[in-house]
Amino acid sequence: MKICYRKMLLPFILLAALSRVSMAYEFNDSHVHLTNYIQEGTEIHKFLAVMGDKVGRATLFGIPLQQEWSYRVSGDDAPDYYLRADTPLYYYSFTDAYIAMAYKSLKPDQQKRFEPMITGFNPADMYAADHVRRVLTTFPGVFSGIGEFTIHKEFVSSKLAGGVPSLNDKALDRLLDFAGEVGLVALMHCDIDTPFPKEGSNPAYLDRIRSLFKRHPKTKIIWAHTGVGRVVRPIDNHIQHLERILKDPTLKNIYFDISWDEVAKYVVASPESLKLTADLINRYPDRFLFGTDEVAPNDQQKYMRVFFQYGPLWNLLKPETVSKVRIKNFEKIFDEARLKVRAWEKKHAKP
């Protein structure tokens, strides 16, 4: 019998080719917003052009909150950001349909470069999990995760119409339980502390965040920005607090993204902060992902700025660590999620 070795080797050749294609990009983006706080943004085909040959794959989500424009408060001066008005923010569920339709407008090979996320829910609402279920069954074959959703965020939480979310809320537990059941990745923003803590006080939310993580061992959770914010700086012993989570064998489902220029600012602030961060990531290279946290990017140079801001960090990381943080961890997490979610949809979504 004549054996065709070329055919036998074909799967391995394709795998190697995919690997070369993957590594040809600078990074996969674990955290990027297609739209802003007034639900305006970059048309998805243009965003694909902005990614170009620099960004291989990206999450795809808007912002779940809409900034209210009150003529009584600001007149004709329409606010386009939450810090530019005293009026409330309210949840805008249509963002999920918008993202789904934008994704479905792409060709199949273009769709492979995106991982859409469901964000249009209130995490303090017991019906939040039902919203996610409804979106999945309405748009099967689209979404891979939930988020970025916010629990505690400086200046945002206090503006929310309808009350502040809580880490102790049964609604949040129900939401994360459902995400774990389906296989959805959960990208969560929660500051580790309040903007202006009392001197010498413990981080306001750290213990409750760890407790939340402990309650959901079956859900892959990415903690956005490692708990750091615009004003919420890395707390004393921040690296040690993160390592406590990383070392815990019961919390292997917890990951961290280092997105946002505000986070990068703290990391590259000094040789000491750089070394501490690089050493931690080198010790746990499978648990960190790079993201830009850019909002409605429409220019590649601006889109890449956080990546370049982290240049000193890339130089201190081991080559295999750089590959995992910028490319491979994204692929591993979202490839697995995509398979699990599609399998769940096959059982639960109507044709």
What's the CATH number where 247 sits? 3.20.20.140
As a whole number of angstroms, the distance between CA 189 and CA 192 comes to 10
**Residue 266, domain member (yes or no):** yes
- Which residue is listed with tokens 């600012």? 265
- Kindly report whether the global pTM for this prediction surpasses the value 0.75: yes
Instruction: State residue 4's pLDDT score.
Output: 52
As a whole number of angstroms, the distance between CA 210 and CA 177 comes to 16
**Residue 5, domain member (yes or no):** no
**Residue 7, domain member (yes or no):** no
**Residue 15, domain member (yes or no):** no
Q: Residues of the chain whose pLDDT is less than 70?
A: 1-23, 236
Q: Evaluate whether 9 touches 272 at the Cβ level (below 8 Å).
A: no
**Residue 36, domain member (yes or no):** yes
Number of domains in the chain: 1
**Residue 3, domain member (yes or no):** no
Q: Evaluate whether 58 touches 114 at the Cβ level (below 8 Å).
A: yes
Residues 5-42 pLDDT 10s = 444 444 444 444 444 445 589 999 999 999 998 899 99
- 40 burial level (CB within 10 Å; 0-12, 13-18, 19+): exposed
Instruction: State residue 23's pLDDT score.
Output: 55
Instruction: State residue 16's pLDDT score.
Output: 44
Q: Evaluate whether 190 touches 169 at the Cβ level (below 8 Å).
A: no
Domain that holds residue 123: 26-348
**Residue 145, domain member (yes or no):** yes
3-state secondary structure of 221: strand
Nearest to 152 by CA among 225, 259, 77, 249: 225
**Residue 21, domain member (yes or no):** no
Share of the chain above pLDDT 90, in %: 76
The letter for the amino acid at 192 is I
